[in-house]
Structures are given as C-alpha cells and as structure tokens.
Amino acid sequence: MAKKLWEKNSDVNPEIERFTVGRDRELDLLLARYDILGSIAHSTMLESIGMLTHDEMETLHRELRNIYEIAERGEFVIEEGVEDVHSQVELMLTRKLGDIGKKIHSGRSRNDQVLLDLKLFTRNELKNVCQSTKELFDSLIAQSNSHKDVLMPGYTHLQVAMPSSFGLWFGAYAESLADDMLFLQAAYRMCNRNPLGSAAGYGSSFPLNRTMTTELLGFDSMNYNVVYAQMGRGKCERNVAYALASVAGTLAKMAFDACMFNSQNFGFVKLPAECTTGSSIMPHKKNPDVFELLRAKCNRLQALPTDIILIMNNLPSGYFRDLQIIKELFLPAFTELQECLHMATYIIERIEVNRDILEDKRYDAMFSVETVNRLAAEGMPFRDAYKKVGLEIEAGTFTANKEIHHTHEGSIGNLCNEQIVKLMESIYGNIDFEKASTAENALLNK
C-alpha cells in the first residue's frame, strides 16, 4: 500500500483512514484533469524561478500530458491506500520520473491544489450550465413566438383570473432564465480567480510568480490575499450553489405548471408520449413523470446553498477537514442540473398546445376585467363599472367579449421577446468562456 504524502513512521488505522477519506477517491476522479492542468502551470512557474531546470520541466510536462490522456479516456484511477487525486498524480510522476516527480510539490500544498482543482472544475461546469440554460431559453422564446396569439386563462390563488396567452407563459420562463443567467455570470466571475500559490493558506518562502500561473490558467485575476484564498473554500461553492439554485427554481415552477396544465382537469397542453408513463392498473393514464422528477430534483438543488452554509458558515479562517464534505454535495449538483435542463428543453420543444381552451364556457368570467376596463374607457367610473359587471356575473347575465386589445410593453399583444432576447444575449455574451478554453488548450498542446 502506498505511503501517504504526510506519513512518517507510524501507520494509519484502516478504520480511521476509511472515515477520513470518505468519498474522496470517487469524487476526485472528476478533478483529475484539472489537477494535471494545475501541475503543468505550476511546474512552468517553478522553472521560471529556478526551482526546475528546463529539461526537468519538459520531462514533467510530457508525463503530465500522458496522465491527462489517461484521465480523458476515463482510465485514471486512485489506487487503494492513496488519499486523493493530488497524491495519485504525484505518485504516478514519481514512479515514472523518480526525483523529478518529487520536485513538483515545491511551493504548494494540497490545500491550494484542491482549491485550484475545484475552481477549474467549477469554471468548466458553469460554462456547460450556462450553455444548457441558453438552449432552454431559446426553445422557450421560439415557443412563445409560435403561440403568441393562443389565449389561455391566467390564475391567481388557482382561481381563473384574467386572459393570458401561451406567448406570455413560455416567455415568462424565458425571462426568468435571463435573470438566472445574471447569477451564473456572477458565479463564473467569482470562481474565475486563481488561488494557486496560497499553499496551506499562508503563502510560501519560495519567490512564487502567481501572476504567471494566473495567466497560464486563463483566470481573470488571482485571489490576492493568501488567507482569503483559503477562506474562499466553501464560500465559492456556496455562491455558485445559489446560482444553480436560481436556475433550479425556475425549472421547478415551470415543471409544476406543466404537470398541472397536462392534467385532464386543465387539458391545456399535451406532453410528448415518450415523456410520460402509464399505470399498472389504469389503462388510460399518461403520467408526467419526467416533469415530476425534474421538480423534485430541482427542489433538492434549491437546498444546496443551505447545506453548504451549515457545513462551513461557523468555521474560523484556515483549513478544516469539514470542507471535504462540501465536495460530496457540490460536485454532483452540476450533472443533476444539466440533466434537468436537457429534459426540460426536450419536452418544451415537443409540447403540444391546446388552441381551443376558451371554447369552454367556464372560462368566460376571465373576460370580466376586459369589460370593466372597456366601460371605464367609455367614461363610466371604474368602481361603478366593476359593480355593474359583478352583478351581471352573479345574475348569470354576463356575456364575455373575447376580443383582447393589450398593447403595453410585456402584455399579450406586445410580448417584448426581442428585448428579452437582447437582455439574455447581453448577459451570456459577457461571460468570457473563450479565455479559459484557450489557456487550457495551450497548456496541453505546447
């Protein structure tokens, strides 16, 4: 069994090891590629300050790129007895390169390694979430434009209230995603700062060039203060989790609407047949299981910021092992949200809209406000018009006039979808994904 990087002459109790390592071996596989990228950048910097010769650096880079390819193929493993991804990479280098492999840890700690790995991982995953959010946004806008003239009831208190439209319904969730993108943009910018060089949280006596590693890794800037770089562990994950939770909140609400509108009592929409399931006893059933599961998953994602807060919020400055547990909650959240976004986009693109909802007389009363407003526009005081129409409804003599003349911004007749698209594009377009991708590719292809 491999010795721990920190082990001296005493052996570790196997039960203690099992408890302290937890799920790190499993979850750290997600960080392997990023740990290698960080090591390429760090060793480049070490060569620049004379801690490695040029030949040593080139030798390290060749082997690190080999290990990266192993990780890309899904063949990277963390061996039994090896604590984490950082130890595994260093072990592989040392086995192959001997003393050269042992030099790579100069000027860094596993504390700033995991900070770096998490930030590189999160940066990439946020890019994927942003792209998937934009895809769902585009589908919602397309459906809003296609169904802008199809009226449906609007509800307050789950009571039929006023005329709405599928243009409004689809467009509302599109604009909600534009606001969510603001959170994602802020999360990306906060994440995109370099903690490497903070070591165990108090810097190093080596003359590290942190500006160089910042540029090599494509960060916008560094976490300047080394103590704050370590304090950012947990805080960064919490703030990213708020952004994920914001998207999840939009999806959960939309899923609830879709499940309700799909029911026979409403009959407003029909979900794709392949997205529904049947009953073992009732042959007529078509259950909206995908949206129900999506709703539950997204509600759970909305709890993620609170879960992280409860782990890290009362910790003083410096590193504590408590922070390891955040990885178990945080890393899988991206995959879960991505799956929800893909499922939502698939269904929204294929959902069928009922164009004849208002043929049902039960919805006539929702045009009452239109009649009140029409009377008020003709000169009758609003309260008198309200009372007149109310008495007609009570007497059963109200006749609905279903002509709609809404023209103000954001209404049935003026959806402002072009402006909503511009809003989304201004936010999404200002997230510089290309800088990070270019930097990572350069590290791998020199």
Say whether 95 sits in a helix, a strand or coil: helix
Give the burial class of 399: count Cβ atoms within 10 A of its Cβ; 0-12 exposed, 13-18 middle, 19 or more buried: exposed
For residue 15 the two structure tokens come to 């039960």
- Where would I find the H helices in 49-109? 54-72, 85-97, 99-102
The fold for domain 110-148+165-356+419-428 equals: Fumarase C; Chain A, domain 2 (1.20.200)
Q: Closest by alpha carbon to 354, among 169, 156, 137?
A: 169
Give me the pLDDT at residue 284, please: 74
Q: How many Cβ atoms from other residues are within 10 Å of residue 106's Cβ?
A: 15
**In this structure, are residues 77 and 46 in contact, taking their beta carbons and an 8 Å threshold?**
no
pLDDT at residue 34 above 70?
yes
| 123-147 tens-digit pLDDT | 999 999 999 999 999 999 999 999 9
360 φ, ψ to 5°? Answer: -80, 125
Q: Is the dihedral of CA 288, 290, 295, 300 positive or negative?
A: positive
162 membership: H or E segment, kind and range:
strand 159-165
Residue 390 CB partners (closer than 8 Å, separation 6+):
368
| 293-315 tens-digit pLDDT | 999 999 999 999 999 999 998 88
Category of 133 on φ-ψ map: left (φ > 0), alpha (ψ -120 to 50) or beta: alpha
Average pLDDT over the chain reads: 93
Query: Which residues are tagged catalytic?
Result: 157, 279
pLDDT at residue 378 above 50?
yes
**In this structure, are residues 230 and 201 in contact, taking their beta carbons and an 8 Å threshold?**
yes
Cα-to-chain-centroid distance, residue 137? 14
Nearest-5° Cα angle at 276, 272 to 282? 130
**In this structure, are residues 348 and 135 in contact, taking their beta carbons and an 8 Å threshold?**
no
Residue 241 CB partners (closer than 8 Å, separation 6+):
304, 305, 308, 330, 333
**In this structure, are residues 329 and 23 in contact, taking their beta carbons and an 8 Å threshold?**
no
**In this structure, are residues 142 and 348 in contact, taking their beta carbons and an 8 Å threshold?**
no
Report the alpha-carbon distance of residue 136 to residue 224 in Å, rounded.
Answer: 37
Report the alpha-carbon distance of residue 89 to residue 77 in Å, rounded.
Answer: 10
| 46-77 tens-digit pLDDT | 999 999 999 999 999 999 999 999 999 999 99
**Numbered ranges of CATH 1.20.200.10 in the chain:** 110-148+165-356+419-428
Task: Count CA atoms closer than 13 A to 54's CA, side-chain side.
Answer: 0
Q: How many Cβ atoms from other residues are within 10 Å of residue 306's Cβ?
A: 12
pLDDT at residue 8 above 60?
no
352 membership: H or E segment, kind and range:
strand 352-353
Indicate the range of 51-55, 219-223, 337-341, 367-371 predicted with least confidence: 367-371
For residue 382 the two structure tokens come to 């609003």
Give me the pLDDT at residue 10, please: 61
**Numbered ranges of CATH 1.10.275.10 in the chain:** 14-105
Give me the pLDDT at residue 279, please: 65
Give me the pLDDT at residue 81, please: 83
pLDDT interval class at 90 (50, 70, 90) = very high
pLDDT at residue 260 above 50?
yes
pLDDT interval class at 22 (50, 70, 90) = low
Q: Is the dihedral of CA 158, 161, 167, 171 positive or negative?
A: negative
pLDDT interval class at 18 (50, 70, 90) = low
**The residue type at 176:** S
**The residue type at 102:** K
Q: Which CATH class is domain 14-105?
A: mainly alpha
Report the alpha-carbon distance of residue 201 to residue 204 in Å, rounded.
Answer: 9
Q: How many Cβ atoms from other residues are within 10 Å of residue 77's Cβ?
A: 13
**pTM for the whole structure:** 0.92
Q: Could you tell me what percent of the chain has a pLDDT over 90?
A: 84
pLDDT at residue 207 above 90?
yes
Task: Count CA atoms closer than 13 A to 2's CA, side-chain side.
Answer: 18
**In this structure, are residues 238 and 308 in contact, taking their beta carbons and an 8 Å threshold?**
yes
Say whether 307 sits in a helix, a strand or coil: helix
For residue 396 the two structure tokens come to 């059963």
Report the alpha-carbon distance of residue 34 to residue 409 in Å, rounded.
Answer: 47
Give me the pLDDT at residue 6, please: 43
pLDDT at residue 275 above 90?
no
Report the alpha-carbon distance of residue 170 to residue 140 in Å, rounded.
Answer: 5
Report the alpha-carbon distance of residue 336 to residue 132 in Å, rounded.
Answer: 12
339 membership: H or E segment, kind and range:
helix 324-350
